Amino acid sequence: MSAPLIELNSGVEIPQLGLGVWQATSDEAEQAVRFAIDEAHYRHIDTAAAYGNEAGVGEGIASSSVLRADVFLTTKLWNADHGYERALAAVDTSLRTLGTDYVDLYLIHWPLQDRDQLMRTWDAMEKILADGKAHSIGVCNFEPHHLQALIDRGGVLPAVDQVELHPHLQQRELREFAGEHGIAIESWSPLGGTSGSGWGPNSKPNTVLSDPTIGDIAAKYGRSPAQIVIAWHIRSGLIVIPKSVHDDRIKQNISVFDFELDDEDMERIASLDSGERVGMHPDDMNLDAPS
Ligand code: A2P
């Protein structure tokens, strides 16, 4: 089973479902990536410099049975690398670590709080795009006001905005705003998070997979709660990157294209939006910002 493609505003196509690897070690990521490509038909891998596993991701792709060109690879610019020169150096470091000469998508990991510096970082992102080191550029964790700043600036718009998004945090306002500007939304922590404890100062445990409504719907379709949540992202038109380092879950998470949630179940899930985050609010994040 392979994921359908979505065309980004850059003209590049992205598989709607990919493998997330946050909190996987480099060795775990290598194994998970190879398995996902060779045994489960994933063609989209999402990593970040800050995950510390780009080397494993690169080795997983290189040692798989498919060509690098057949895998959509995303990595992200860490907070400490905001600023024009630092961003240009950071992409080169990521490419070296990944063992490739381009990424399909390069994202700013967090907007941070220095707006002028963010604009200089985006200048660098445009250069990275023009130099062919990334085939598309985008952002993560941008609220509408951050996107508006890039719209007002002119120039290349982000191809995607990758944000925390799951049935308990459905991000409707952001999705509408991004949609009006042709910016695709990618869901991080699409299953509600990578651990039982969440992260950040206001973090909550993962309550998505244990949500009774999701459980009811799972029983109705004879699917797992994770598959129901992923099917909801897919029918919502979102790009989704569930993380797992377990072979059975990696396979299960992409086995969602042979059924579709009906309207009634989409509405039941729509009613679960409590606005609860497992990660930090982007406006509060300034970790590792350059001084
Ligand atoms: P693991 O890697 O041990 O499988 P996210 O919302 O960030 O994608 O988080 C996914 C979390 O849920 C991870 O902790 C992952 O752990 C776990 N997970 C991934 N797939 C499944 C699944 N099919 N069923 C249950 N848990 C899953």
Classify residue 29: in a domain, yes or no: yes
d(CA 70, CA 10): 18
Residue 197, pLDDT above cutoff 60: no
Counting residues of the chain whose pLDDT is more than 90, the rounded percentage is: 92
Q: Does 1 map to a domain?
A: no
Catalytic-residue membership of 221: no
In a domain, 151, yes or no: yes
| Cβ contacts of 221 within 8 Å, gap of 6 or more | 227, 228, 259, 261
Catalytic, out of 42, 51, 84, 102: 51
Is residue 290 a part of any domain in this protein?
Answer: no
Residue 289 lies in a domain: no
Domain residue limits at 38: 10-278
Per the structure, how many domains does the chain have?
1
Is 28 within a domain? yes
Among 191, 224, 253, name the best residue to mutate to test ligand 1's pocket (greatest count of ligand atoms within 8 A of Cβ): 191
Indicate whether 127 belongs to any domain.
yes
The CATH number that applies at residue 172 is: 3.20.20.100
Residue at 220: amino acid letter: K
Q: For 24-51, how does the pLDDT look when each residue is reduced to its tens digit (9 = 90+)?
A: 999 999 999 999 999 999 999 999 999 9
Contacts of 8 (CB under 8 A, 6+ apart): 14, 136, 159, 160, 184
109 is in an annotated binding site: yes
Span 62-82, pLDDT tens digits: 999 999 999 999 999 999 999
pTM given for the model: 0.97
